[in-house]
Amino acid sequence: MTGPLMADKTAVITGAAQGIGYAIAERFVAEGARVVIGDIDGAAAQAAADKLGGATVARGVRCDVTVADDVQALIDAAAESFSPVDVMVNNAGITRDATMRKMTEDQFDQVIAVHLKGTWNGTRLAGAVMRERGSGAIVNMSSLSGKIGLPGQTNYSAAKAGIVGLSKAAAKELAHLGVRVNAIQPGLIRTAMTEAMPQKVWDQKMAEIPLGRAGEIDEIATVALFLASDMSSYMTGTVLEVTGGRFM
245 occurs within a structural domain: no
How many domains are there within the chain? 1
3 occurs within a structural domain: no
Residue by residue, DSSP assigns 153-169 as -HHHHHHHHHHHHHHHH
pLDDT tens, residue by residue, 91-102: 999 999 999 999
Once rounded to an integer, what is the mean pLDDT over residues 164-181? 98
pLDDT confidence of residue 194: 86
2 occurs within a structural domain: no
The CATH number that applies at residue 104 is 3.40.50.720
Question: Does residue 156 carry a catalytic annotation?
Answer: yes
**Could you say which of 82, 108, 120, 156 is catalytic?**
156
pLDDT confidence of residue 58: 98
pLDDT confidence of residue 1: 54
247 occurs within a structural domain: no
How far is the CA of 108 from the CAs of 37, 121, 221, in angstroms? 26, 19, 28
pLDDT confidence of residue 140: 99
Once rounded to an integer, what is the mean pLDDT over residues 122-145? 98
212 occurs within a structural domain: yes
Main-chain phi, psi angles of 178, to 5 degrees: 85, 15
38 occurs within a structural domain: yes
pLDDT tens, residue by residue, 177-219: 999 999 999 999 998 878 888 999 999 999 999 999 999 999 9
What is the overall mean pLDDT for the chain?
A: 97
Domain that holds residue 165: 10-240
Say how far apart CA 35 and CA 221 lie, in whole Å.
14
Q: Over 90: is that where the pLDDT of 55 sits?
A: yes
Quick one: which of 128, 147, 127 has its CA closest to 137? 127
pLDDT confidence of residue 119: 98
pLDDT confidence of residue 46: 98
